[in-house]
């Protein structure tokens, strides 16, 4: 059976989602989980855009060995040099070069004639091949390029040494039948077509990213570029979990398979959602909270009698366990360690110790601790940012006939204790004002969300905030059974992150519009 190559670009295209910036440790953590998921290729970044991006690709290349590690570059020598610098230590490096080919891009963006584009594409691929034997080429905006010219460019890129040619629907304009037709057209009109792997990269502006990718697979494409939770520029990319589960569930129709360990889909979806701060809609296919929930009585009845009446996939196959209850107050360190491993986390002894202590503290407050709670603790622990300020204590007074007031004590990096109080139009506002007075940092709160991590009134509360500071957007979260404390933790973490992060949105960053 034909095996489809799954190329994950969560760390590159996904990270280009507005508000989804990931730091080096967060990228490494996602990359490790992608390796456990057994994706074939990880596109780890676009190194020329910033030193931080380059470092993150380097870190992933050095640490994550099983998948191919890929870096994006324009067909420009300095981009390609930097991309190679970033991936050269990978066990399996790949350089991915791209150049726009559609008329509208040629005329307005590049101001170049067809012949020049052909030359640039060839030179870019050749330059990359001098470093690396695995080179991917993408004609940007391929779906709006004249098919004859596209065939010419693809053929030239393969001739120049591209081992994979990716056909991007950069602006999400294609329709499934038409996109499949384009793949068939290339197969019939590119003489050296069989010498390269044909890939697709579909954006979701019309909600067709997955449909277009699958239509292309049916028409002969061998690699699909996608992201966890469908993250990506604008409306995002084809969602990895949907592409993979469609191929698996409808093997009868597509006649192919992937190497993905589907049991890990839900866990990695949670992780990416937590670290990027972009929540998954409840009714999202495969990984949404409602994806396997049967509310209607008639459905429940059917599912209880015979699951297949209403379920086309098994929840276990995507990693939703039927029995979620795991640990309680009396569970020991060993049980905790085993569970952590099963959930796919790799922790040092020291980290286990810290996480175990947090688990015990939580188990004291809550009777039962679910997988979701443990994941939340671990993700929180991993996502730790350098603590310039730490909360020592917090006192709130609020009610129906009082002015909400917060007294906050913080400890700074030098160990000095700071205390101040503030009022606000509610307890969260009061706490945030007090924190701002203590740290002297003022941020714009763009979004504030609160949710229960698991079920029950005693559940852990998770507060996610998105803030803007000096033109940068940052997302963080705080976790506690006390929601005011969780709110304070999330906000203070954002301040710590803002103060320790190096500025990254430079001029080149603004230009970084890849594929």
Q: Binding residues for Zn ion, per CB under 5 A?
A: 13, 515
396 vs 515 by CB, closer to Zn ion? 515
Please, what is the minimum distance in Å from the beta carbon of residue 214 to Zn ion? 17
276 vs 464 by CB, closer to Zn ion? 276
- Residue 459 CA: distances (Å) to CA of 1, 18, 39, 378: 46, 30, 33, 16
DSSP per-residue codes, 20-62: ----HHHHHHHHHHHHHHT-SEEEEE-GGG-HHHHHHHHHHHH
Task: Work out the number of other CB atoms within 10 angstroms of the CB of residue 106.
Answer: 20
Please, what is the minimum distance in Å from the beta carbon of residue 429 to Zn ion? 39
Q: What is the DSSP letter of 144?
A: G
Nearest Cα neighbor of 425 from 437, 433, 415, 413 is 433
5 vs 431 by CB, closer to Zn ion? 5
Tokens found for residue 173: 């304009």
Cβ atoms of 33 and 268 closer than 8 Å: yes
Please, what is the minimum distance in Å from the beta carbon of residue 13 to Zn ion? 4
- Residue 479 CA: distances (Å) to CA of 140, 386, 421, 460, 476: 42, 17, 22, 7, 10
239 vs 406 by CB, closer to Zn ion? 239
Helix axes 147-160, 176-189, angle to 10 degrees: 50
Please, what is the minimum distance in Å from the beta carbon of residue 232 to Zn ion? 6
209 vs 427 by CB, closer to Zn ion? 209
124 vs 372 by CB, closer to Zn ion? 124
Please, what is the minimum distance in Å from the beta carbon of residue 319 to Zn ion? 26
Please, what is the minimum distance in Å from the beta carbon of residue 224 to Zn ion? 13
Cβ atoms of 238 and 20 closer than 8 Å: no
- Residue 158 CA: distances (Å) to CA of 223, 283, 298, 378: 16, 41, 55, 45
Tokens found for residue 182: 């384009």
Please, what is the minimum distance in Å from the beta carbon of residue 227 to Zn ion? 9
461 vs 514 by CB, closer to Zn ion? 514
Residue keyed to tokens 């239509």: 215
230 vs 319 by CB, closer to Zn ion? 230
Nearest Cα neighbor of 154 from 168, 170, 140, 165 is 165
Instruction: State the greatest distance between any 2 C-alpha atoms of the chain, in Å, as a whole number.
Output: 79
150 vs 515 by CB, closer to Zn ion? 515
Please, what is the minimum distance in Å from the beta carbon of residue 192 to Zn ion? 26
Please, what is the minimum distance in Å from the beta carbon of residue 233 to Zn ion? 6
């Amino acid at each position: 059976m034909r095996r489809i190559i799954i190329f994950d670009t969560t760390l590159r295209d996904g990270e280009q989602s507005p508000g989804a910036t990931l730091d080096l440790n967060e990228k490494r953590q996602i990359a490790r989980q992608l390796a456990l998921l057994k994706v074939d290729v990880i596109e780890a970044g676009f190194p020329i855009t910033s030193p931080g991006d380059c470092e993150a690709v380097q870190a992933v290349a050095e640490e994550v060995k099983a998948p191919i590690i890929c870096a994006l570059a324009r067909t420009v020598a300095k981009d390609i040099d930097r991309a190679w610098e970033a991936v050269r230590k990978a066990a399996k490096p790949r350089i991915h070069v791209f150049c726009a080919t559609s008329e509208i891009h040629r005329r307005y963006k590049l101001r170049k004639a067809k012949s020049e584009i052909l030359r640039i594409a060839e030179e870019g691929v050749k330059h990359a091949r001098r470093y690396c034997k695995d080179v991917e080429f993408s004609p940007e905006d391929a779906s709006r390029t004249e098919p004859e010219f596209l065939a010419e460019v693809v053929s030239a890129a393969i001739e120049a040494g591209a081992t994979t040619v990716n056909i991007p629907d950069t602006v999400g304009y294609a329709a499934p039948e038409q996109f499949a037709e384009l793949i068939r057209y290339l197969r019939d009109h590119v003489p050296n077509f069989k010498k390269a792997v044909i890939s697709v990269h579909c954006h979701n502006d019309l909600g067709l990213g997955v449909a277009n990718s699958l239509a292309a697979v049916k028409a002969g494409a061998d690699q699909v570029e996608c992201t966890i939770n469908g993250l990506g520029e604008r409306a995002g990319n084809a969602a990895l979990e949907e592409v993979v589960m469609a191929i698996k569930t409808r093997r009868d129709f597509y006649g192919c398979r992937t190497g993905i360990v589907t049991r890990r889909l839900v866990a990695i979806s949670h992780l990416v959602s937590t670290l990027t701060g972009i929540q998954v809609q409840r009714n999202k296919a495969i990984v949404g909270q409602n994806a396997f929930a049967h509310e209607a009585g008639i459905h429940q009845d059917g599912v209880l009698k015979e699951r297949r009446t209403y379920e086309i996939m098994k929840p276990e196959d995507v990693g939703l366990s039927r029995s979620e209850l795991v640990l309680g107050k009396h569970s020991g360190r060993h049980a905790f360690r085993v569970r952590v491993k099963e959930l796919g986390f790799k922790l040092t002894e020291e980290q286990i110790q810290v996480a175990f202590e947090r688990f015990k503290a939580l188990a004291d407050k809550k009777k039962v601790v679910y997988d979701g709670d443990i994941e939340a603790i671990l993700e929180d622990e991993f996502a730790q940012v350098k603590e310039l300020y730490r909360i020592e204590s917090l006192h709130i007074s609020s009610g129906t006939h009082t002015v909400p007031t917060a007294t906050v004590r913080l400890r700074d990096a030098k160990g000095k204790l700071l205390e101040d109080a503030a009022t606000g139009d509610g307890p969260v506002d009061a706490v945030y004002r007090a924190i701002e007075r203590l740290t002297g940092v003022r941020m714009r709160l763009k979004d504030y969300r609160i949710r229960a991590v698991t079920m029950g009134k005693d559940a852990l509360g998770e507060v996610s905030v998105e803030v803007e500071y000096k033109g940068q957007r940052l997302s963080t979260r705080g976790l506690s059974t006390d929601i005011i404390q969780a709110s304070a933790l999330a906000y203070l973490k954002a301040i710590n992150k803002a103060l320790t992060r190096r500025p990254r949105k430079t001029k080149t960053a603004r230009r970084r519009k890849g594929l």
